[in-house]
């Protein structure tokens, strides 16, 4: 792939580091290089995508012939020192970088396995030539020349890949369903609406390695017989939209999109559609409505989009990470991918780790890695806390549709089924760590408020039920609740979950139900008259440790 | 089933949207609709562009969009009011957004919002704000590593010091979120 | 014409291909409460009252918006479904302001009928007393949003049958409301043909004729289907 390692500084230019000042840093590096001249001129300064440790940005990676190093929390005035470190000159300035060098053997990096993110942080997201040099589009070209659509779908089925958008539906099966519809037009859609608060995996892929996604989409389109596609991106991701648009333009100019791709007879038109601030548009039928310029309200399924989708045609909808996994799967083979992960959940999963944890950022690990490894070893636990669970009270997975997993279950492997069994879900991959002081009824209320704000209002259990649930939770947070409220809360949670039209309403009670399950004493302690509570000792216990 | 009717009904929206829009903006709108070949499915895209033109979506512009895309008025308003990034009223001079995503919430985003509400004398998510400032919530800006975060007039403000009230006040003061800023204009409360 | 056979609460029925589960339930002689559905309009599956359980998987599906398929077995009256229907009706009552004694539709209101059918006499959830509007700007008709249950029948009949598309839904979540034009007074919306179809289909007293006073509203909820039959099948059953 890439030739001999040049002397280079890879500067993170993704949103996380941008908000921490990476643009000024990169400008300072360029200026310092001009000023220093000499040996410094041999240093390539390259903007790249996410270098993972977002919480400590701006980050810069230094590649030398003897290996790579990572520097964190840099300021523009440290640019000369960084260049000096690159050229191996001016050792006297070493102090200026004290505490900024990150040990590459730190478990945060050592335990990760880059599959979807293999190009993220290495390639320049704004240069198709760099992406091509790193192997982008090689699989698309090969597949168009050598494989039938059936063969492509077969590899995807063998890989065991399941949808990364939350529900974990087997990707190969979905592709078959679309491909085997009666003859006619088909469409592929990439769901890049990533609305779960605390989730930024898809954004990182879009900002760091957009060509990988485009290649994956093109392969998917070929495999299901589609000739047009849309990427639906949330409007809150301006940088991702800009880079994706640029990447599409570059790909068209190189004949990798459009008519007769790479000399084959395969055509594909890809367009970006930008959302306008509605979480529910991540739901697939709402997303289709939104692409068609309508209110983003879901509709009952069946028929599924694979049967009746955009403008009535069969439509394949996949998440960003799902599609970005495709090129690697075809390069290494479905069996290779299936050898990673667990029985039911193959491959790797990207998580966005945030909240009360030392290392916040992007983490890609094999499925089945335990939550403890992710949160404590990779994440470094809660800063300043110790003890067996490192100050962790709970880990929230799956965003507003998921639940809170208590610290004593941290040894749970992260895969679709294990999380579901605990009353949470994989969701898109946000992991928010909560420290000891977090109040669980407040967490539940936080998510319910989100659902109230984001409900589309079409069906009554979600539109009116979440409002009632929020008011009930207010009573618990304000310690005004009664035991009857607790019963009402549970009954209504079950009703909203069972009868709502779409996944938003169906999953809205999950944060309440899971905190009720694992932290019931906190709800009981919030009842007006603790004498009403049973078991009584749970409340007393709570009085001691508020 | 026995609910007393509410004390007074809120007024109906002002009538007819045929307002005086700057002719240049009207022309620009026509041109950009043409660029989308007048396709109805471009409605959201068109609304984004029209909002860029005016800073919000004036009723007259919505009427023009409906006419030129050959869509019902109510459909255009229905779409514009569904998506939270579309503004149907002229924005206040200054705007502040507080992130209430989960990571920011865990790091005190809720208290931050409450504090700014008190300082500015306004209500969260009331587009009218206090006349000068409006405060809205956003759900995750993807800057979770810098939580809690604010966006003040388009500028991201990372790592608000929630554990140090004096430092927090100083930071908010420096951002122009002064105590009682614009409160004289009346506003929400 | 091909036929699908299925069972409804154990009773076997055959319905033509293309029929909905609701058609099958009715063919089996069972009845389901419905609010958002109206024959002749595109189903939306919004009120969730017609949910039925698919035997085996236990999945719930809105009968109005689900196609009947060969071999399906559905349950319409499990205790769980009955409880959830009741709760849904409670949520409807708690969400608006329904003062039946003063309503034009008293005695001719589908929400009232459904409340009786599911055995609901009070809501266990607090009434929200929303502050909504009344629009009497139209010369013949008026809309009282306090009584609106957001079934969108008015939106659909005006769009699909009359072709005027005066109405739509604005905002989202609990803030949703039915609007005319650009959220204008109804009387000012030029698209309205004053045909009165929205009055005919509104299940409650939300849209009514100004001439009608308490308990006088007469609805014609069969009209969309008659008009559709005339238009699509050239069968005039509306004499
Ligand atoms: C309320 C709601 C929000 C969703 N948001 C997203 C999202 O932001 N991104 C996403 O990929 N899938 C989201 N989904 C899941 C999609 O509906 C769909 O299952 C997914 O895009 C399918 O892709 P996959 O098979 O690759 O996972 C959401 C679902 C619901 C119910
Ligand atoms: S569950 Fe909520 S978001 Fe989904 S259709 Fe119903 S109201 Fe809309
Ligand atoms: S006005 Fe009547 S028909 Fe229209 S949505 Fe409301 S209740 Fe339904
Ligand atoms: S939660 Fe605030 S930036 Fe993600
Ligand atoms: S009648 Fe079927 S959901 Fe309303």
pLDDT category of residue A37 using cuts at 50, 70 and 90: confident
Strands of the B150-152 sheet, one edge to the other: B133-138, B94-99, B150-152, B155-157
User: Do C167 and C191 touch, CB atoms closer than 8 A?
Assistant: no
Dist CA A80 CA A95 (whole Å):
12
Give the count of beta carbons closer than 10 Å to the beta carbon of residue A338.
17
B141 in contact with chain A, both atoms CB, cutoff 8 A: yes
| Pairs of residues, one from chain B and one from chain C, whose beta carbons lie less than 8 Å apart | 99
Q: How far is the CA of B98 from the centre of ligand 4 (A)?
A: 9
pLDDT digits (tens, 9 = 90+) for C128-182: 999 999 999 999 999 999 999 999 999 999 999 999 999 999 999 999 999 999 9
Dist CA C102 CA C144 (whole Å):
12
- Chain B residues near residue C172 by CB distance under 8 angstroms: 81-82
Interchain proximity B72–C168, CB inside 8 Å:
yes
Pocket, ligand 2, Cβ cutoff 6 A: A 280, 297-298, 455-459, 462-463, 500-502, 504-505
Average pLDDT over residues A101-109: 89
Q: Which one of C62, C124, C173 has the shortest CB-CB distance to A456?
A: C173
Q: Is the CB of A191 inside a 6 Å radius of any atom of ligand 1?
A: yes
Average pLDDT over residues C5-32: 96
Confidence at residue C180, expressed as pLDDT on a 0 to 100 scale: 98
- Chain B residues near residue A21 by CB distance under 8 angstroms: none
Residue A508 has pLDDT above 60, yes or no: yes
- Chain A residues near residue C91 by CB distance under 8 angstroms: 460-461, 464-465, 468
User: Ligand 3 pocket check: which of C35, C44, C204, C205 to mutate, most ligand atoms within 8 Å of Cβ?
Assistant: C204
Q: Which one of B85, B103, B145 has the shortest CB-CB distance to A277?
A: B85
Interface test with C, best of B16, B65, B73 (most C CBs within 10 A): B73
Residue recorded with tokens 């928010």: A432
Ligand 1, residue A284: give the atom nearest the CA. 17
User: Do B69 and B43 touch, CB atoms closer than 8 A?
Assistant: yes
A15 in contact with chain B, both atoms CB, cutoff 8 A: yes
User: Do A261 and A217 touch, CB atoms closer than 8 A?
Assistant: no
Q: How far is the CA of A165 from the centre of ligand 1 (A)?
A: 4
Dist CA A183 CA C80 (whole Å):
42
pLDDT category of residue A145 using cuts at 50, 70 and 90: very high
Average pLDDT over residues B87-96: 94
Dist CA A145 CA A152 (whole Å):
12
Is the model more confident about C144 or about A19?
C144
Confidence at residue A46, expressed as pLDDT on a 0 to 100 scale: 95
Ligand with minimal distance to A460 CA? 2
Q: Is the CB of C60 inside a 6 Å radius of any atom of ligand 5?
A: no
Residue B142 in 3-state DSSP?
Answer: coil
Mean per-residue pLDDT over chain B, rounded: 86
Confidence at residue B180, expressed as pLDDT on a 0 to 100 scale: 62
- Chain C residues near residue B74 by CB distance under 8 angstroms: 165-168, 170, 179-182, 189
Q: Is the CB of A198 inside a 6 Å radius of any atom of ligand 4?
A: yes
If you ran DSSP here, which 8-state letter would residue C228 be given? H
Confidence at residue A65, expressed as pLDDT on a 0 to 100 scale: 85
Q: How far is the CA of A432 from the centre of ligand 2 (A)?
A: 25
Residue C119 has pLDDT above 70, yes or no: yes
Q: Tell whether ipTM is more than 0.85.
A: yes
Confidence at residue A87, expressed as pLDDT on a 0 to 100 scale: 85
Q: Is the CB of B150 inside a 6 Å radius of any atom of ligand 4?
A: no
**Ligand 4, atom 1: closest residue by C-alpha:** B101
Per mean pLDDT, which range of A37-41, A60-64, A439-443 is the poorest?
A37-41
Q: How far is the CA of A455 from the centre of ligand 2 (A)?
A: 5
Dist CA A521 CA A535 (whole Å):
9
**Ligand 3, atom 2: closest residue by C-alpha:** C202
Q: Which one of A20, A291, A294 has the shortest CB-CB distance to B146?
A: A20
Mean per-residue pLDDT over chain C, rounded: 95
Dihedral of CA B83/B86/B92/B94: which sign? Answer: positive
Average pLDDT over residues A350-379: 93
Cα distances (angstroms) measured from residue A143 to each of A137, A140, A154: 10, 5, 12
**Ligand 2, atom 4: closest residue by C-alpha:** A502
Ligand 5, residue C65: give the atom nearest the CA. 2
> CB within 8 A of C12, min separation 6: which ones?
C5, C6, C28
pLDDT category of residue A545 using cuts at 50, 70 and 90: very low
Residue B172 has pLDDT above 90, yes or no: yes
pLDDT digits (tens, 9 = 90+) for A446-485: 999 999 999 999 999 999 999 999 999 999 999 999 999 9
User: Do A276 and A264 touch, CB atoms closer than 8 A?
Assistant: no
Ligand 5, residue C44: give the atom nearest the CA. 3
Residue B8 has pLDDT above 80, yes or no: no
pLDDT digits (tens, 9 = 90+) for A383-435: 888 777 888 999 999 989 999 999 999 999 999 999 999 988 888 888 999 99
Residue A187 has pLDDT above 50, yes or no: yes
* Helix H or strand E segment including A321: helix A320-324
Q: How far is the CA of C127 from the centre of ligand 5 (A)?
A: 23
* Subunits adjacent to chain B (3 or more Cβ pairs under 8 Å): A, C
HSE value, Cβ hemisphere, 13 Å, CA-based, for C163: 3
Domains of chain A by start residue, with CATH:
8-104 (3.40.30.10), 135-338 (3.40.50.11540), 348-435 (3.10.20.600), 440-525 (1.20.1440.230)
pLDDT digits (tens, 9 = 90+) for B11-43: 444 444 445 899 999 999 999 999 999 999 999
Ligand 5, residue C45: give the atom nearest the CA. 3
Q: Return the closest-CA partner of residue A277 out of A235, A219, A245, A214.
A: A235
Tell me the angle at which helices B59-69 and B23-35 cross, rounded to the nearest 10 degrees.
Answer: 40
Interchain proximity B140–A434, CB inside 8 Å:
no
Average pLDDT over residues A195-211: 92
Dist CA A414 CA A417 (whole Å):
8
Dist CA B124 CA B110 (whole Å):
11
Average pLDDT over residues A231-237: 94
**Ligand 1, atom 23: closest residue by C-alpha:** A318
Residue A371 has pLDDT above 80, yes or no: yes
Name the closest residue on chain C to residue A487, using Cα atoms: C124
DSSP per-residue string spanning A435-492: ETT--HHHHHHHHHHHHHHH--S-SHHHHTHHHHHHHHHHHHHTT-B-HHHHHHHHHH
User: Do A466 and A458 touch, CB atoms closer than 8 A?
Assistant: no
Residue C12 has pLDDT above 90, yes or no: yes
Average pLDDT over residues B112-117: 95
Average pLDDT over residues B131-154: 88
Residue A1 has pLDDT above 60, yes or no: no
Dist CA C198 CA C194 (whole Å):
9
Per mean pLDDT, which range of A216-230, A341-355, B6-20, B151-165 is the poorest?
B6-20
Residue A530 has pLDDT above 80, yes or no: no
Residue A546 has pLDDT above 70, yes or no: no
Confidence at residue B155, expressed as pLDDT on a 0 to 100 scale: 86
- Look up residue C219 and give its two tokens: 């609805």
Domains of chain C by start residue, with CATH:
3-77 (3.10.20.740), 104-232 (3.30.70.20)
C74 in contact with chain A, both atoms CB, cutoff 8 A: no
A459 in contact with chain C, both atoms CB, cutoff 8 A: yes
Q: Which of residues 207-236 of A touch B (CB under 8 A)?
A: 235-236
pLDDT digits (tens, 9 = 90+) for A147-183: 999 999 999 999 999 999 988 999 999 999 999 999 9
B163 in contact with chain A, both atoms CB, cutoff 8 A: no
Dist CA A520 CA A452 (whole Å):
23
Residue A532 has pLDDT above 70, yes or no: no
Query: C231: distance to nearest CA of chain B, Å?
Result: 22
Q: Where are the beta strands (DSSP E) in A58-208?
A: 60-64, 67-71, 101-102, 187-192
Name the closest residue on chain C to residue A506, using Cα atoms: C60
Dist CA A471 CA C123 (whole Å):
15
């Amino acid at each position: 792939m890439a030739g001999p390692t040049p002397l280079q500084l890879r500067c993170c230019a993704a949103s996380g580091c941008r908000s921490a000042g990476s643009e000024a840093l990169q400008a300072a590096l360029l200026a310092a290089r001009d000023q220093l001249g000499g040996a410094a001129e041999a240093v390539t300064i390259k903007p790249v995508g996410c270098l993972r440790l977002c919480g400590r940005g701006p980050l810069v990676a230094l590649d030398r012939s003897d290996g790579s190093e990572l520097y964190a929390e840099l300021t523009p005035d440290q640019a000369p020192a960084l260049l000096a470190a690159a050229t191996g000159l001016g050792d006297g300035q070493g102090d200026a970088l004290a505490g900024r060098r990150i040990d590459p053997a730190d478990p945060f990096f050592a335990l990760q396995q880059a599959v979807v993110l293999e190009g993220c942080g290495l390639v320049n997201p704004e240069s198709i030539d760099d992406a091509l040099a790193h192997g982008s589009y090689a699989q698309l070209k090969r597949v168009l020349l050598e494989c039938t659509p059936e063969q492509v779908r077969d590899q995807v089925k063998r890989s065991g890949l399941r949808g990364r958008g939350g529900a974990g539906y087997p990707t190969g099966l979905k592709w078959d369903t679309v491909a085997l519809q009666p003859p006619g037009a088909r469409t592929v859609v990439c769901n890049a609406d990533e609305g779960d608060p605390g989730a930024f995996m898809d954004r990182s892929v879009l900002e760091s390695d957009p060509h990988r996604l485009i290649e994956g989409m093109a392969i998917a389109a070929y495999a299901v017989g589609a000739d047009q596609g849309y990427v639906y991106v949330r409007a809150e991701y301006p940088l991702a939209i800009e880079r994706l648009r640029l990447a599409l333009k570059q790909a068209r100019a190189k004949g990798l999109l459009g008519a007769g791709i790479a000399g084959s007879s395969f055509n594909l038109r890809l367009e970006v559609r930008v959302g306008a601030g509605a979480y529910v548009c991540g739901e697939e039928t709402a997303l289709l409505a939104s692409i068609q310029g309508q209110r983003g309200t879901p509709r009952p399924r069946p028929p599924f989009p694979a049967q009746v989708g955009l403008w009535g045609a069969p439509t394949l909808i996949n998440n960003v990470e799902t599609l970005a996994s495709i090129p690697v799967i075809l390069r290494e083979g479905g069996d290779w991918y299936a050898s990673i992960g667990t029985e039911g959940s193959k491959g790797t999963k990207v998580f966005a780790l945030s909240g009360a944890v030392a290392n916040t950022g992007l983490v890609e690990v094999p499925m089945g890695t335990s939550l403890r490894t992710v949160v404590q070893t990779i994440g470094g636990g809660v800063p300043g806390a110790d003890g067996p669970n490192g100050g962790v009270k709970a880990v929230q997975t799956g965003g507003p549709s998921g639940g809170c997993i208590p610290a004593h279950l941290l040894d749970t492997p992260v895969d679709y089924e294990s999380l579901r069994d605990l009353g949470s879900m994989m969701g898109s991959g946000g992991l928010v760590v909560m420290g000891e002081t977090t109040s669980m009824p407040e967490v539940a209320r936080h998510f319910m408020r989100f659902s109230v704000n984001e409900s589309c209002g079409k069906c009554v259990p979600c539109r009116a039920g979440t409002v009632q649930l929020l008011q009930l939770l207010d009573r618990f947070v304000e310690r005004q609740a009664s035991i009857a409220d607790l019963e009402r809360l549970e009954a209504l949670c079950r009703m909203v979950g069972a009868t709502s039209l779409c996944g938003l309403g169906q999953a809205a009670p999950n944060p309440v139900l899971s905190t009720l399950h694992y932290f019931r004493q906190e709800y009981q302690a919030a009842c007006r008259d603790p004498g009403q509570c049973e078991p009584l000792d749970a409340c007393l216990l709570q009085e001691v440790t508020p | 089933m026995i609910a007393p009717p509410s004390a007074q009904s809120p007024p109906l929206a002002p009538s007819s949207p045929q307002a005086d829009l700057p002719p240049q903006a009207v022309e620009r709108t026509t041109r950009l609709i043409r660029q989308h070949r007048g396709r109805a499915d471009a409605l959201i895209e068109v609304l984004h562009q029209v909002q860029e033109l005016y800073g919000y979506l004036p009723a007259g512009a919505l009427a023009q969009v409906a006419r030129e895309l050959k869509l019902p008025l109510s459909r255009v308003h229905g779409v514009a009011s569904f998506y939270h990034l579309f503004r149907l009223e002229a924005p206040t001079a200054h705007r502040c957004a507080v992130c209430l995503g989960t990571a920011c919430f865990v790091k005190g985003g809720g208290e931050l919002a409450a504090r700014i509400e008190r300082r500015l004398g306004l209500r969260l998510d009331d587009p009218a704000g206090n006349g000068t400032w409006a405060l809205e919530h956003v759900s995750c800006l993807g800057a979770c590593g810098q939580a809690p975060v604010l966006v003040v007039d388009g500028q991201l403000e990372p790592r608000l010091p929630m554990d140090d009230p004096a430092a927090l006040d100083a930071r908010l003061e420096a951002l122009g979120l002064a105590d009682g800023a614009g409160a004289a204009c009346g506003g929400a409360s | 014409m091909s036929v699908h056979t299925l069972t409804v609460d154990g009773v076997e029925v055959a319905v033509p291909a293309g029929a909905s589960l609701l058609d099958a339930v009715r063919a089996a002689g069972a009845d389901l409460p419905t609010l958002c559905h109206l024959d002749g309009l595109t189903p939306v599956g919004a009120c969730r009252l017609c949910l039925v359980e698919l035997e085996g998987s236990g999945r719930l599906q809105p009968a109005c918006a689900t196609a009947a398929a060969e071999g399906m077995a559905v349950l319409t009256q499990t205790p769980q479904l009955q409880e959830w229907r009741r709760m849904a009706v409670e949520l409807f009552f708690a969400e608006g302001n329904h003062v039946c004694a003063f309503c034009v539709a008293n005695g001719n209101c589908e929400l009232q009928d459904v409340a009786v059918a599911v055995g609901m006499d009070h809501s266990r959830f607090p009434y929200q007393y929303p502050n909504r509007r009344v629009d009497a700007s139209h010369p013949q008709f008026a809309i009282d949003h306090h009584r609106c249950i957001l079934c969108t029948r008015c939106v659909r009949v005006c769009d699909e049958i009359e072709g005027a598309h005066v109405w739509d839904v604005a905002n989202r979540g609990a803030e949703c409301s039915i609007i005319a034009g650009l959220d204008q007074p109804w009387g000012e919306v030029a698209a309205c043909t004053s045909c009165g179809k929205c009055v005919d289909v509104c299940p409650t007293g939300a849209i009514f004729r100004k001439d009608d006073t308490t308990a006088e509203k007469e609805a014609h909820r069969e009209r969309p289907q008659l008009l559709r039959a005339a238009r699509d099948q050239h069968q005039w059953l509306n004499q």
